[in-house]
Amino acid sequence: MAKRIDVSGLSAYYGSFRAIEDISMTVEPRTVTAFIGPSGCGKSTFLRTLNRMHEVTSGGRVEGKVMLDDENLYGPGVDPVAVRREVGMVFQRPNPFPTMSVFENVAAGLKLNGSYKKSELADIVEKSLKGANLWNEVKDRLNKPGSGLSGGQQQRLCIARAIAVEPKVLLMDEPCSALDPISTLAIEDLIGELKERFTIVIVTHNMQQAARVSDRTAFFNLAAVGQPGKLIEIDDTERIFSNPSVQATEDYISGRFG
């Protein structure tokens, strides 16, 4: 089931460079939260701290607390591998495994978690592909390579792969920036359906997209290049786009900078 994310005092570093500073926010279960802000403001870095992917980068280091309901993801003895099984992720560029078929791609995460009977596996794969609105397009080519699908289909395949393991939270890092408008629309519709089951956080450069899909919007900014990124404000999407409480947010949204 979807879980609440509660971040407090979080900073992330690349070596000695502090990329984001002192971020605190709460993300309610079964909502969509969009992160917007200019390039380099640290919104992707912050997203990657939520499933402990940031520390995969060499020199990557995190300070602060991320609570997933009652569990601190950065608590002592917490296995990052276990965290990533609870917090799924979809990337900017569709990245199905090129050496696997459509079916194997969706089943990839399940095979890590344990052994399933063939029929069970087939059921979960079908359910996940249906959940990603991809089933009708691929049901006749489950054994064909995943890399043979179109870009938009590949991205939905990646979403199916992520939701197949029933994560509590789904992180999306600019999932539509490599896609055409029609594929983008398909993904946006899908996000609307997925939030019934998951807590969703999405990074986007497209402000219309943030306005269309999200319930809450967080605006990030940085004072200057080389300075750490900061959370400027987070509020209901409607309020952010109509009457934000900080001037910088309004300037960014109305296109006066960034």
In the complex, which residues of this chain contact other proteins (CB under 8 A)?
51, 53, 56, 58, 81-85, 88-89, 91, 93, 95-101, 108-109, 112-113, 145, 147-148, 158, 161-162, 165
Question: To the nearest whole angstrom, how small is the minimum distance from the Cβ of residue 84 to other proteins?
Answer: 4
Residue 164 or 222 having the CB closest to other proteins: 164
Q: Which is nearer to other proteins, 1 or 112 (CB)?
A: 112
Does residue 6 contact residue 26 with C-beta atoms inside 8 Å? yes
Helix boundaries (H) for the chain: 43-49, 80-86, 102-113, 118-131, 135-138, 151-164, 181-194, 207-213, 237-242, 247-253
To other proteins, the closest distance from the beta carbon of 197 in angstroms equals 18
Using CA atoms, how far residue 79 sits from 60, 75, 86, 241, in Å, is: 16, 9, 11, 38
Contact 240, 56 (CB under 8 A): no
51 vs 249 by CB, closer to other proteins: 51
Q: How far is the CB of 245 from other proteins (least distance, A)?
A: 34
Q: Which two tokens stand for residue 53?
A: 């992917």
Token reading at 152:
């938009």
**Shortest distance (Å) from residue 106 CB to other proteins:** 11
**239 Cα distance to chain centroid:** 22
**166 vs 251 by CB, closer to other proteins:** 166
